[in-house]
Amino acid sequence: MPDLTGKTALVTGSVQGIGFAIAKAVASAGARVALHGLPNDPKADTAVQAMLDAGAAQARYFAADISDPDQIDGLMAEVADWGGVDILVNNAGIQHPAPIADVPRATWNAIIAVNLSACFHTMQAVMPEMEKRGYGRVINIASVQGLIGSIHKAPYVSAKHGLVGLSKVAALEYARSGSKAKGGVTVNCICPGWTETELIGPQIEARAQQIGGDRDAAIADLLSEKQPTCRTSDPAEMGALALWLCDPVAHNVTGTQIPVDGGWTAQ
């Protein structure tokens, strides 16, 4: 496990699911953890305590609607005052499946704003300082949908493909920052497939009802359409991968897209 003592990590969308698991992983390595979510989120206090229990040097919750660039500016200024950002994990995302013909303009704009534009704004705010320090990690949570197409997900797929492209550009621009000893500045995408979060619960339950109520069988049946292993990933697995990417030993792993998808994108 890398020692992240003295490092500060900002993880957007981190009160549950993949974001929470990644935040907990970096907390376990001694980082200061800046959690993020919407204002008045009832899970905020519990999430902060979970970070402290996991070993975070400090933990604090920062509220902002990151579909609004002005609120992003405020968020990044607050975190900078708290100690800056050594590790940025852009995890927050929204989705609204619908055929192209039925996607409202406001929905398109919101999904692009949260899933892509917000990542650009947070990266722009912190990467110059990472370069000065000689160490920085940007981990963008894309998706298999950032590598392939999928019907009824035009805004989401577009945003995630854009995030992959943005990450490649940033990785190249900062490739010579820092050194092997310091760890350099890297930018990578993690691309999860089916992952066991609250978001997929309703789909699993619906399929279980269709095939007789067996949840494990429902997962295997649901995943057989896409994911060859027919096994979901656990959010903690994304946390373990993100934590490894934070280690200075990963200084030459940059500009990558790492699928955690049971072979989905290998087909």
Q: Cβ neighbours of residue 64 under 8 Å, at least 6 residues apart?
A: 36, 38, 39, 71, 72, 74, 75
Establish if 90 belongs to a structural domain: yes
pLDDT of the residue at 204: 85
Does residue 254 share a domain with residue 228? no
Establish if 252 belongs to a structural domain: yes
Model confidence band, residue 189 (pLDDT cutoffs 50, 70, 90): very high
- pLDDT tens sequence across 206-250: 888 888 878 888 888 888 889 999 889 999 999 999 999 999 999
Residue 241: what are its φ and ψ, rounded to 5°? -65, -45
- pLDDT tens sequence across 94-135: 999 999 999 999 999 999 999 999 999 999 999 999 999 999
Does residue 123 share a domain with residue 44? yes
156 is catalytic: yes
Does residue 177 share a domain with residue 140? yes
Does residue 202 share a domain with residue 146? no
Give the pairing type, strands 87-90 and 59-63: unpaired
**Count of the separate structural domains present in the chain:** 2
Instruction: Evaluate if residue 35 carries a pLDDT over 90.
Output: yes
Does residue 205 share a domain with residue 90? no
Establish if 1 belongs to a structural domain: no
Does residue 170 share a domain with residue 60? yes
Question: The domain containing residue 207 runs over which residues?
Answer: 197-232
Does residue 189 share a domain with residue 165? yes
Model confidence band, residue 197 (pLDDT cutoffs 50, 70, 90): confident
